[in-house]
Amino acid sequence: MERSTRTRILDGALDLLRAEGGGSVTLDAAAKQAGLTKPGLMYHFPTKEALKLGIVEHVAERWERMLLDHLAEPLGTASPHQRTRAYVAVALTAPFDRADYAVCTDALYRDAFHEIWERRFDPWLHLPEDLPDQDRARLTAARLLADGYWTAAATDVFPVPERDRAQVVAITDDLLREETR
């Protein structure tokens, strides 16, 4: 099945972010990367801001698809442990790179980007107030461990050696053991 033009543009923009030395995503560069004219790209993304928002949605949507693939039941009926377990599994096993990291960290500086991540991830990471403190702490620790691993893998700054990944997964499995209630 052929990718849509919109997907081709977004994937090409991510390739620009992966460029050695950190790529720049301009309308001209994104159009060239996707094999389009600038007006052809602007049909789908009329401004640089629209393109950047599209990139964030594209990456967040990919994360969400991977999370759903790791969940054994519908998101709405999954327990906090099941949702956190899916999140940890994706963060520890899926291939991520500097483009993913760049898109994620831009949310720190741009409210519109932050809102996209919050909307997509709050259902996965939200812990109910009535969750016992010990469970809350264990789920949070597992998530933070996975976030740290993901950051190291995506940036390739102080990456975890592959031989250690299995032990990291085992530790998160222990943190994610079933509820204590």
Q: What is the pLDDT of residue 1?
A: 45
Region 113-119: mean pLDDT is 93
- Average of per-residue pLDDT values in the chain: 90
Domain that holds residue 109: 54-175
Query: Could you tell me if residue 180 is inside a domain?
Result: no
Rounded-to-integer distance, Cα 37 and Cα 29, Å? 10
**128 has a pLDDT exceeding 70:** yes
Q: What is the pLDDT of residue 83?
A: 95
Q: What is the pLDDT of residue 102?
A: 87
**7 has a pLDDT exceeding 60:** yes
SS3 content of the chain, % helix, strand, coil (to 5): 70, 0, 30
More confident residue, 180 or 96: 96
Lowest-confidence segment of 2-6, 51-55, 90-94, 156-160 by average pLDDT: 2-6
Query: Could you tell me if residue 181 is inside a domain?
Result: no
Question: Are the C-beta atoms of 92 and 172 separated by less than 8 Å?
Answer: yes
Q: Quick one: 124 and 153 in the same domain?
A: yes
- Number of domain units in the chain: 2
Cα-based angle 27, 31, 37 (whole degrees, multiple of 5): 110
pLDDT tens-digit readout, 63-78: 999 999 999 899 999 9
